[in-house]
Amino acid sequence: MGVIRFLRDETRRTTLFLILSALSLVASFFCSALLPLDPAWVAVLLCGAPIVKGAAVALVTRFDIKADLLVSLALVASVLIGEMFAAGEVAFIMTIGALLEERTVAKARAGIERLVRLTPRTARVIRGDEEQVISADEVRIGDVLRVFAGEMIAADGTIITGSTSVDQSVMTGESIPVDKGPGDAVLSGTVNQFGAFDMRADKVGEDSSLQRMIRLVESADAGKAKIVGLADRWATWIVIIALASAAVTWLVTGEVIRAVTILVVFCPCALVLATPTAIMAGIGNVARYGILVREGDALERLASTSCLAFDKTGTLTYGTPKVVAVCVRAGADTLTTNALAPEASAPDAASTVALTTNALAPAPSAHLAAWTGDELLSHVAAAERLSEHPLGKAIVSHYQLIKGSLPEEPKRFRMMPGRGVVATVRGRQVLAGNSELLSEQGVLPDEGLAVQAQAQREGGGTVIHVAIDGLATGLIALADEPRKDARALVGSITDLGIRTVLLTGDNEQAAAHIAREAGIAEVFSRCLPETKLQLIEELQSRGERICMVGDGVNDAPALKKAWVGIAMGGVGSDITIDAADIALIGDDIRHLPHLLALAKRTMRTIRLNLAASLLLNFVAIILAMTGILGPVLGALVHNVGSVVVIINSSLLLKYRDEVSDEATSEATSKESSLPVQ
Compute the distance between CA of residue 675 and CA of residue 341 in angstroms, rounded to an integer. 10
Write out pLDDT tens, residues 521-561: 899 988 877 888 889 999 998 989 999 988 766 777 888 88
Q: Name every residue whose Cβ is closer than 8 Å to that of residue 255 and which is 6 or more positions away in sequence.
A: 249, 627
Mean pLDDT, the chain, integer: 77
- Comparing 180-189, 231-240, 300-309, 380-389, which segment has the lowest mean pLDDT? 231-240
Name the pairing type of β-strands 291-293 and 185-186: unpaired
Look up 311 and say whether it is catalytic: yes
Write out pLDDT tens, residues 443-472: 998 888 999 888 888 777 889 999 999 999
Predicted local confidence at residue 575, as pLDDT: 60
pLDDT surpasses 50 at 597: yes
- Say what percent of the chain tops pLDDT 70: 75
With cut-offs at 50, 70 and 90, classify the pLDDT of residue 159: very high
Cβ–Cβ under 8 Å, residues 552 and 314 = yes
Catalytic residue among 179, 232, 311, 506: 311
Per the DSSP assignment, residues forming a β-bridge with 538 are none
What does each C-alpha distance from 316 to 211, 305, 350, 351 come to in angstroms?
Answer: 28, 19, 47, 46
Compute the distance between CA of residue 523 and CA of residue 540 in angstroms, rounded to an integer. 17
Write out pLDDT tens, residues 264-310: 777 666 677 777 778 878 888 887 787 877 766 788 889 999 999 99
Predicted local confidence at residue 662, as pLDDT: 52
Q: Name every residue whose Cβ is closer than 8 Å to that of residue 657 and which is 6 or more positions away in sequence.
A: 593, 594, 597, 598, 601
Strand ranges of the sheet holding 178-180, from the earlier edge strand across to the other edge: 178-180, 164-167, 191-192
Compute the distance between CA of residue 634 and CA of residue 631 in angstroms, rounded to an integer. 5
Give the mean pLDDT of 637-646.
73
Strand (E) or helix (H) holding 600: helix 592-625
pLDDT surpasses 50 at 108: no
Helix (H, G, I), strand (E, B) or coil at 318: strand
E strands in 139-248: 144-147, 156-161, 164-167, 178-180, 185-186, 191-192, 197-203
* Amino acid, res. 627: G
Residue 487 burial (10 A CB sphere; 0-12, 13-18, 19+)? buried
Backbone φ and ψ of 185, nearest 5°: -85, 145
Compute the distance between CA of residue 40 and CA of residue 83 in angstroms, rounded to an integer. 9
E strands in 193-257: 197-203
Cβ–Cβ under 8 Å, residues 502 and 312 = yes
Residue 610 burial (10 A CB sphere; 0-12, 13-18, 19+)? buried
Closest CA to 422 of 358, 485, 337, 486: 358
Domains of the chain by range and CATH? 1-103 (no CATH), 118-207 (2.70.150.10), 290-317+483-597 (3.40.50.1000), 320-480 (3.40.1110.10)
Residue 510 burial (10 A CB sphere; 0-12, 13-18, 19+)? buried
Give the mean pLDDT of 373-377.
90
| 3-state DSSP of 538-559 | HHHHCCCCEEEEECCHHHHHHH
Cβ–Cβ under 8 Å, residues 67 and 273 = no
Per the DSSP assignment, residues forming a β-bridge with 482 are 317
Compute the distance between CA of residue 608 and CA of residue 203 in angstroms, rounded to an integer. 56
Closest CA to 479 of 464, 467, 500, 466: 464
Cβ–Cβ under 8 Å, residues 626 and 321 = no
Closest CA to 136 of 31, 246, 210, 57: 210
Strand (E) or helix (H) holding 644: helix 631-650
Cβ–Cβ under 8 Å, residues 605 and 277 = no
Compute the distance between CA of residue 218 and CA of residue 618 in angstroms, rounded to an integer. 45
pLDDT surpasses 90 at 335: no
Predicted local confidence at residue 614, as pLDDT: 77
Per the DSSP assignment, residues forming a β-bridge with 178 are 166
pLDDT surpasses 60 at 333: no
> Would you report the helix, strand and coil content of the chain in percent, each value rounded to 5?
55, 20, 30
Q: Hey, how many other C-beta atoms are within 10 angstroms of the C-beta on 674?
A: 9
Predicted local confidence at residue 223, as pLDDT: 42
Cβ–Cβ under 8 Å, residues 555 and 583 = no
pLDDT surpasses 50 at 346: no
With cut-offs at 50, 70 and 90, classify the pLDDT of residue 12: confident
Predicted local confidence at residue 147, as pLDDT: 92
Q: Hey, how many other C-beta atoms are within 10 angstroms of the C-beta on 28?
A: 23
Write out pLDDT tens, residues 600-631: 999 899 888 888 877 877 787 888 888 887 77
Cβ–Cβ under 8 Å, residues 529 and 214 = no
- Comparing 220-229, 570-579, 637-646, which segment has the lowest mean pLDDT? 220-229
* Amino acid, res. 428: R
Output the CA torsion 110→112→117→119 (10° steps): 170
Cβ–Cβ under 8 Å, residues 241 and 268 = no
